[in-house]
Amino acid sequence: MKVLVFGASGLLGKALMREWRQDDLVGVRARDADIRDLARVQSVVEKASPAWIVLAAAYTDVDGCEAHPELAFAVNRDGAVNVAQAAKENSAKLLFLSSDYVFDGSKASPYEVDDPRNPRSVYGRTKAEAEVRLLEVLPECCIVRTSWLFGVGGKCFPDTILKLAGQRPALDVVDDQRGCPTHSVDLAGAIAQLCRKNASGIVHATNTGDCSWFEFAREILKEAKLSTEVRPVSSRQMARPAPRPAYSVLSPRSLRKWEVAMPPWQDALVRYLAERTP
């Protein structure tokens, strides 16, 4: 099976290209094809003639999206529609990466795939609107929502915490936002399985378990055997340009439907730290 990966140089894209060995993968980086350019996207897809397209390319800087909404929508929504259109023209199946930020965080139990979208940030709106548009262009596409992605080969929360821990005696970390950390390696494995199973519809894919950012940071430092103090603070104290959902835990029920399982985030963190160490 031939798979075309848009966003091959990103955190998830690198994991997909490295971990997905059973099929024929073709990676497309941003410098190879800007997904905002429909003609270029059509040319790349036609040349590759893939059975599946995985769209991992996106403008993922949440605060950057808040400052540059036109760019955010051009990439995350309109670019995604371009890829979907090219997939349709070439009879390819599409798997699109979406986000827990399509929800407002007002729920107190894990979000199911059919819970209403109500994004609070520009980034969340771009992903939510992309989902709606893609389902119009390709009703059988697979939309994979994930959250709190981390892994080697790119900027992520554990990497930031470890670097700051080497510079400061104490760290202040938000303790009133709760979600599911997700290892890029485990997500790549789940995506490969979903494609092989010809999955369609919306699927929530994260490592199992949930925590606050404070709890995540504390576990990172404990596993790394660092003595840096971690202090819990509120989102108000650590104000950011883009609002974040207070609770964005994603239910694993939709993933189990396809008989795909992902390990606990604590296990994933141990493997990430081992991989990160030279």
Residue 30 scores a pLDDT above 70? yes
Number of neighbours of residue 196 by Cβ within 10 angstroms: 15
Q: Note whether residue 81 is domain-resident.
A: yes
Residue 8 scores a pLDDT above 70? yes
- Mean local confidence (pLDDT), 76-105: 98
- Mean local confidence (pLDDT), 73-82: 98
- Mean local confidence (pLDDT), 231-255: 95
The reported pLDDT for the residue numbered 29 is: 95
**CATH code (residue 11):** 3.40.50.720
Q: What percent of the chain clears pLDDT 70, i.e. is strictly above it?
A: 100
Q: Note whether residue 6 is domain-resident.
A: yes
Residue 262 DSSP label: -
Q: Note whether residue 271 is domain-resident.
A: no
The reported pLDDT for the residue numbered 239 is: 84
Mean of per-residue pLDDT scores for the chain: 97
- Mean local confidence (pLDDT), 34-52: 98
pTM: 0.97
Residues classed as catalytic: 123
Number of neighbours of residue 257 by Cβ within 10 angstroms: 12
Q: Note whether residue 134 is domain-resident.
A: yes
Q: Note whether residue 275 is domain-resident.
A: no
Residue 37 scores a pLDDT above 90? yes
- State how far the Cα of 245 lies from the Cα of 231, in Å rounded to an integer: 20
| Three-class SS state of 163 | helix
The reported pLDDT for the residue numbered 253 is: 98
- Mean local confidence (pLDDT), 111-120: 98
Reported confidence tier of residue 95, pLDDT bands at 50, 70, 90: very high
Reported confidence tier of residue 277, pLDDT bands at 50, 70, 90: confident
Q: Note whether residue 126 is domain-resident.
A: yes
| Three-class SS state of 123 | helix
Q: Look up the domain containing 77 and give its range.
A: 2-152+182-209+249-264
Total domains in the chain come to: 1
- Mean local confidence (pLDDT), 162-180: 95
Q: Per-residue pLDDT tens for 55-72?
A: 999 999 999 999 999 999
Q: Give helix then strand counts, H and E, for the chain.
A: 11, 12
Q: Per-residue pLDDT tens for 201-221?
A: 999 999 999 999 999 999 999
Counting beta carbons within 10 angstroms of the beta carbon of residue 139, is it exposed (0 to 12), middle (13 to 18) or buried (19 or more)?
A: exposed
Reported confidence tier of residue 116, pLDDT bands at 50, 70, 90: very high
Q: Note whether residue 237 is domain-resident.
A: no
Q: Point out which residues pair with 229 in neighbouring strands.
A: 170
Residue 3 scores a pLDDT above 90? yes
- Mean local confidence (pLDDT), 168-185: 97
Residue 122 scores a pLDDT above 70? yes
The reported pLDDT for the residue numbered 278 is: 62
Residue 184 scores a pLDDT above 90? yes
Q: Note whether residue 159 is domain-resident.
A: no
